[in-house]
Amino acid sequence: MAPAQSGGPESGAVETLRRHGVPASAGSLPVLRDELDEWARSAGLGDSLAGALALATYEAMANAVEHAYGGTPGPLDVEAAFLDHGVEVTVTDHGAWRSPHDSGQERKRGLPLIHRLADEAVVSAGENGTRVRMRWEVARQPLDGDLSAADAPG
């Protein structure tokens, strides 16, 4: 699990990243990973957290490519948003889970990696696809004069 990190937006001004209907193909994943990395860095997240977000999201997307559609591109949705002192990234496919043809030890590393990189990761699979929701705690940087009740002298 990644440690809580400081950084992030100083206000709620960071827009949610939404990409719906992206083809779940190996060729589209690096572009989407890089876009998420750029989004995280532009929001003020540090290199370590931005890298963890990008890598964990890439692994979730790669699982969708391999398991949801069996190598045939289908739709993939990715959303990233700041919510309640954290950042949340959700990867959703609309396929049906397929076990990999090769079950060797070099496989089955994606989900454990996602769980190590994120503070929280929940995988929900059903008839209408699989959703991987990942969350990282991010300490909000207060603006000058912006003291929450928890920070106010008592």
Count the alpha carbons within 13 Å of 69 in the hemisphere toward its beta carbon: 17
Query: Tokens for 109?
Result: 């590393």
> How many CB atoms lie under 10 A from the CB of residue 33?
19
Which backbone phi and psi does 2 adopt, to 5 degrees?
-75, 145
Reported as a single tens digit per residue, the pLDDT across 56-88 is: 999 999 988 888 887 677 999 999 999 878 999
Report which listed range, 61-75, 108-122, 140-154, is most confident. 108-122
Q: What is the DSSP letter of 8?
A: S
Reported as a single tens digit per residue, the pLDDT across 1-26 is: 444 444 455 445 679 999 999 988 88
Domains of the chain are: 14-99+108-137 (3.30.565.10)
Q: Is 100 exposed, middle or buried (0-12, 13-18, 19+ CB in 10 A)?
A: exposed
Of 115, 130, 146, 102, whose CA–CA distance to 12 is shortest?
Answer: 146
How large is the C-alpha radius of gyration of the chain?
Answer: 17
Reported as a single tens digit per residue, the pLDDT across 29-57 is: 999 999 999 999 998 899 999 999 999 99
Q: How far is it, in rounded angstroms, from Cα 101 to Cα 97?
A: 12
